Amino acid sequence: MPGHRAQTTRLNDGITAVDTEYERPLQDASHLIVEGGRAAFVDTGANNSVPLLLDALHQQGLDVTDVDYVFLTHIHLDHAGGAGRLMQKLPNALCVVHPRGIVHMIDPAKLIAGTEAVYGVEETRRMYGDIQPIDASRCVAPDDEQWFDLNGRQLQILYTEGHALHHYCLNDPASRGVFTGDSFGISYRELDTAAGPLIFPTTTPTHFDPDAAHVSVDRIMGCSPEQLYLTHYSRVRDLDRLAADMHAGIDAYTDIALANKDADVPLAGIKPAMSEYLKGCARAHGFKGDDDTLQAILEIDIELNAKGLVSWIQRLKKQGL
């Protein structure tokens, strides 16, 4: 989309949220961190997002040569699908990707196949286009707790399983913040009310693990953050409440899954229960929009969360639990 201007929101401490315009506005964010003229992206959106990210860079008077890092919190394609194409535009950037994900960024064939298994071939093609590989020499697999230096600003990797095995968060002490990817749930700005942000876990197939998800929430809170930057969607505060809501949400999802574990078609029970639960949370939180609006905001997550819970109980059954 030549000439299409990126929708950006300047946050605190040199951080900007860039709307990747995934399926609708304010659904999926990339974050740009700028420190003294050097820059890093945290997550990229899909291929269509790349011109927007470059525009966001130019809006700040920066050039493609000024980007040192592309951090990928995890390799689900709504956050990493554009990484290969973006890296082609950024001659000095290293792509930092979890050791469990790095092979799939270098050779995305399996990643594409896995996405097709969730969304179907045509839909995957429509949503993600041609996923570009990243040259192995430009990828780094960080250790847990490894620090990266962005022009003097220290950024720390924290492995966080529960949403995906290949997930890390990025701790940014300079902003008293953590870039949480999908490890601290989803908080759409459309569902904000006088009570503040609403948050709920995301259990996209196929790695949901409730125990690990609880640990990850605690690990993030262990950084004593004042704000978190979520991929869906960007900055939230009031973190003690949100952490409690995340723990309660993970427990509620687990209950929904286990109640349907022995059904012939677990999805048939899990999906309506997930819908009822999430809509109930929004209503209890004071959301005043009509039912169609609420359905439109939540339908993708109802579907993905339900399918992710099915994958989890299938795994439990395989383990004989």
Which residues are near Zn ion by CB under 5 A? 76, 182, 204
**DSSP annotation of 94:** E
d(CA 147, CA 158): 10
In the bound complex, what is the minimum distance in angstroms from residue 19's beta carbon to Zn ion?
A: 17
14/44 with CB nearer Zn ion: 44
172/182 with CB nearer Zn ion: 182
Q: Are 48 and 30 in contact (CB under 8 A)?
A: no
51/162 with CB nearer Zn ion: 162
In the bound complex, what is the minimum distance in angstroms from residue 174's beta carbon to Zn ion?
A: 25
End-to-end CA distance of the chain: 50
Helices (H), the chain: 50-59, 77-80, 83-89, 102-106, 109-119, 121-128, 210-221, 239-259, 266-284, 291-318
Helical (H) or strand (E) element with 145 = none
Residue with token string 């300047």: 10
Residue with token string 């390799």: 75
In the bound complex, what is the minimum distance in angstroms from residue 74's beta carbon to Zn ion?
A: 5
16/203 with CB nearer Zn ion: 203
Q: Are 277 and 252 in contact (CB under 8 A)?
A: yes
In the bound complex, what is the minimum distance in angstroms from residue 286's beta carbon to Zn ion?
A: 27
Distances (CA, A) of 307 to 191, 200, 258, 274: 23, 16, 13, 10
Amino acid identity at 213: A
In the bound complex, what is the minimum distance in angstroms from residue 162's beta carbon to Zn ion?
A: 11
76/100 with CB nearer Zn ion: 76
d(CA 68, CA 101): 20
43/66 with CB nearer Zn ion: 43
In the bound complex, what is the minimum distance in angstroms from residue 232's beta carbon to Zn ion?
A: 9
